Amino acid sequence: MNLIKRLQGFFAVTVFAAASSAALAQSYPTQPIKLVVPYGAGSATDILARRTGAVLSTLLGQGVIVDNKAGGSGAIGASFAARAPADGYTLFFGTTQTQSVNPHLLDTMSYDPLKDFVSVARLYSVGTILVVSSALPVKSIEELMVWLKANPGKANFGSTGFGTASHLPGAYLSKLSGVKITHVPYNNPGQLMTDLTRGEVTMLFYPPEGVKGFIDSGALKPLAWTGDSRSATFPNVPTMRERNFPNFTFGAWYGVFAPTGTPPAIVARLSEALGRVVRDPAVVQGVTGGGAQVDYAPAAELEKFMKTEYERFRQIASMVGKKD
């Protein structure tokens, strides 16, 4: 008899919890939502986040306020968001850098991307394109590799900083090829482009929107794309995979995360709403116009993807090392 009563109590609690969770999801949100962006206003990440937030606000009926907290390769914003109340009113616009790269390249970490966050939805992704100066006597990645091996000690690659999407592919290529390619980081992207077009920088892996104008003008030559499939912006440029670099996939993906402990019902509501955001024609047009693509994955799928990416970049970091 006692067992029956205990089972009845258990089921009653379970039903009550389920009902409470459903009610919570239906009423959420009742106040504005803060979307923490780990990079500065005007950055590519910030633009994507603001475009996302504007449509999400309309769908949820509450304001979505972008809160830029730049610094530390995105770690400052990530740490802030990880320590926010787990109530669904502080979300994090995470990237490859903050969720997959930083744990393996930063000497100290103030957050754990796997333990401190729950996945909500992956939204977008973008590869990088390998470009060289038009003056360099190569027309393909194969010819570039021949040139690199014939000119030991002369080659370098530019980047916007250690551990970034423009640094890791160059460092990885150097390790794979066995050829020393000196890393030259820049604080000023404009100066980086100037030096690249002059031939002072040998090569660069970079997001498409940053180099398209130079390619169109003939100042730079595109040799390869680092995404899984060819870029819609540069459909005639082969992928690194097509050119016998089977595991050479780099770039950036962007997604929304919430502090661990956020109610599953709220996570599910947000994941579904974000799926509608990325189907909005204006969002699709804006994202593809900037060289990226919609790459939606719901919460459970992003969670699995996150663990795979975490391990992949652990292996890449072990090759590249923490210092040049």
Point out the least confidently predicted range of 120-129, 226-235, 273-282: 226-235
**What band does 191 get if pLDDT is binned at 50, 70 and 90?**
very high
45, two tokens: 């990440």
**Beta pairing class for 33-37 and 203-206:** unpaired
* pLDDT value for 1: 52
Selection from 193, 198, 194 nearest residue 209 by Cα: 193
73, two tokens: 């390769």
Report in angstroms the alpha-carbon separations of 150 from 119, 138, 141, 147, 171.
Answer: 47, 12, 14, 5, 19
Mean pLDDT value of segment 153-178: 91
Instruction: Report the percentage of the chain scoring pLDDT > 70.
Output: 91
Greater pLDDT, 60 or 160: 60
Residue 306 pLDDT greater than 60, yes or no: yes
Going along the chain from its start, the domains and CATH numbers come out as 31-126+251-320 (3.40.190.150), 129-243 (3.40.190.10)
Residue 253 pLDDT greater than 90, yes or no: yes
The 252-259 sheet, strands edge to edge: 64-68, 33-37, 90-95, 252-259, 117-126, 293-298
Mean pLDDT value of segment 136-164: 92
Across the chain, mean pLDDT equals 91
Indicate the pTM of the whole model.
0.86
* pLDDT value for 177: 87
* pLDDT value for 308: 94
* pLDDT value for 323: 57
Instruction: Report the DSSP beta bridge partners of residue 159.
Output: 185
Mean pLDDT value of segment 221-241: 92
Mean pLDDT value of segment 91-101: 96
* pLDDT value for 16: 45
Q: How does DSSP assign 168-215, residue by residue?
A: HHHHHHHHHHT---EEEE-S-HHHHHHHHHHTSS-EEEE-HHHHHHHH
Residue type, 115: K
Q: Is the Cβ–Cβ distance between 123 and 254 less than 8 Å?
A: yes
Mean pLDDT value of segment 214-230: 94
Residue 18 pLDDT greater than 50, yes or no: no
**What band does 9 get if pLDDT is binned at 50, 70 and 90?**
low
- Distance, in Å, from the CA atom of 232 to the CA atom of 129, rounded to the nearest integer, reads 12
At residue 271, the 3 state secondary structure works out as helix
**What band does 108 get if pLDDT is binned at 50, 70 and 90?**
confident
- Distance, in Å, from the CA atom of 117 to the CA atom of 42, rounded to the nearest integer, reads 25
Residue 11 pLDDT greater than 60, yes or no: no
Instruction: Report the DSSP beta bridge partners of residue 37.
Output: 68
